[in-house]
Amino acid sequence: MTSEMLAGVRTLPDLDAAGKKVFVRADLNVPLRDGAITDDLRVRSSVPTLRALIDQDASVIVASHLGRPKGAPDPASSMAAVGTRLQELLASDVLVASDVVGDDAMAKAAALKPGQVLLLENLRWDPGETKNDDAFAEALASMADVYVDDAFGAAHRAHASISGVPARIPGYAGLLLERELAVLGGLLEDPQRPYVAVLGGAKVSDKLTVLENLLERVDAIAVGGAMAFTFLVAEGIDVGSSRVETDQVDNVRRLVGAARERGVEVLLPTDVVVAPEFAEDAPATSVAAADIPADQMGLDVGPETAATYAAAITGAGSVFWNGPMGVFEWDAFAAGTRTVADAMAASEGFTVVGGGDSAAAIRTFGLDDKVDHVSTGGGASLELLEGKELPGVVALRT
By annotation, the residues acting in catalysis are: 42, 203, 356, 379
Distance CA 274, CA 278 (A): 10
356: left (phi over 0), alpha (psi -120 to 50) or beta: left
Question: 261: which residues sit within 8 A by CB, 6+ positions away?
Answer: none
Do the beta carbons of residue 52 and residue 14 sit within 8 Å? no
Question: 175: which residues sit within 8 A by CB, 6+ positions away?
Answer: 11, 12, 48, 49, 52, 150
HEC string of 170-232 equals: CEEECHHHHHHHHHHHHHHHCCCCCEEEEECCCCCCCCHHHHHHHHCCCCEEEECCCHHHHHH
Burial of 249 (0-12, 13-18, 19+ CB in 10 A): middle
